[in-house]
Structure formats: structure tokens, C-alpha cells
């Protein structure tokens, strides 16, 4: 069984040296209120970690109406499903206040995971844990 070391949504199973490897590829981006972070249809497969702030996750109905399906706050991952399953983005993610995001670029993350199967195991365990939490949150 894999041991949790901390509460970070992506680093929870990583040791200090592995965290430094991941931080080396992370890009910090700040968004202002109402700024789009992700838009429906984008092909981007990056994983985003919400470090500060709150975002609205929105979908569009067939008539073009936009509906908020949830809000995410600090400590949430965005885009983990799209990282695993290649598809276009299926929701808009919009900053509700000033938001700080750590972006893990797809190509750089894949390169690390291909070289380090031990690290890949831990990252995919963290992604699985986050997806499980989201699923359980939806059914309860």
C-alpha cells in the first residue's frame, strides 16, 4: 500500500526529492476574477492545481446557455481526466476571484513519467484518488 505524505492533490504520495522534480516543471499563472482558465473545446491536456482562489466549472447546454456545475477551491486539481483520456476540454473553468494555478504541462509531465515508472505510479495513484473524491462528492 502506498503511503500518503501530505495533503497536496498531486504530491500526496511523493517524497521531498520527487516533489522538487515536479515543482521544476510547474508553471505558476495568476488569473484575475472572471478570466477564463480553460474553455470548452480546447485540446490542452495539462494538469492544473489550484493553489489559491476559487473557480467556477461551467458547461454549455445545447441551446448555448451556460450552467455552473461546481466550484473548486485551493487544493483542487483541474484537467486530470483529460490528462488520462485524450479529448477536448468539456467544461469552462473561470476564475471567481484572483486565482493562482500551478500548471503541469502535458509533454513535460509525460517525459518525467516515462523516465520514472516509480514516480508515475505515485502520480497516477494521486490522480486516481482525486477522481474518486470527485466521484464520491457527486453521488453524495
133 contacts 28 by C-beta, under 8 angstroms: no
Structure confidence at residue 120 (pLDDT): 94
CA angle at residue 21 from 101 to 19, to 5 degrees? 70
Q: Mean pLDDT lowest for which of 26-40, 56-70, 76-90?
A: 76-90
User: In terms of residue numbers, what domain contains 113?
Assistant: 16-139
Q: Decide if 5 is inside a domain.
A: no
pLDDT one-digit tens code per residue, 73-107:
999 999 888 888 888 888 999 999 999 999 999 99
Residue 94's beta-bridge partner residues?
36, 56
Residue 9 lies in a domain: no
Q: Residues with Cβ < 8 Å from 83, sequence gap 6 or more?
A: 45, 46, 47, 106, 109, 127
CATH number at residue 112: 2.60.120.10
User: 72: left (phi > 0), else alpha (psi -120 to 50), else beta?
Assistant: beta
Whether 10 is covered by a domain: the verdict is: no
Taking Cα atoms as reference points, which of 77, 87, 86 lies closest to residue 130? 77
For residue 139, pLDDT over 70 is answered with no
106 occurs within a structural domain: yes
Residues in the chain, overall count: 140
Report the pLDDT value the prediction gives residue 104, as an integer from 0 to 100: 96
Q: What percent of the chain has pLDDT over 90?
A: 69
Least confident of 42-56, 72-86, 123-137: 123-137
Asked whether 42 and 23 are in contact (CB, 8 A), the reply is: no
The mean predicted confidence, pLDDT, of the chain is: 90
pLDDT category, 32, cuts 50, 70, 90? very high
Separation of alpha carbons 76 and 8, rounded Å: 9
For the chain, the domain total comes to 1
Amino acid at each position: 500500500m502506498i503511503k500518503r505524505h501530505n495533503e497536496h492533490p498531486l504530491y500526496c504520495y511523493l517524497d521531498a526529492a520527487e516533489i522538487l522534480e515536479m515543482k521544476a516543471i510547474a508553471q505558476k499563472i495568476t488569473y484575475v476574477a472572471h478570466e477564463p482558465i480553460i474553455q470548452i473545446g480546447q485540446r490542452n491536456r495539462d494538469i492544473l492545481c489550484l493553489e489559491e482562489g476559487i473557480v467556477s466549472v461551467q458547461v454549455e447546454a445545447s441551446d448555448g446557455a451556460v450552467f455552473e456545475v461546481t466550484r473548486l477551491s485551493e487544493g483542487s486539481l483541474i484537467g486530470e481526466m483529460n490528462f488520462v483520456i485524450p479529448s477536448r476540454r468539456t467544461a469552462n473553468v473561470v476564475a471567481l476571484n484572483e486565482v493562482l494555478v500551478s500548471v503541469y504541462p502535458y509533454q513535460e509531465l509525460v517525459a518525467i513519467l516515462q523516465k520514472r515508472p516509480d514516480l508515475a505510479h505515485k502520480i497516477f495513484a494521486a490522480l486516481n484518488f482525486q477522481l474518486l473524491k470527485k466521484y464520491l462528492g457527486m453521488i453524495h
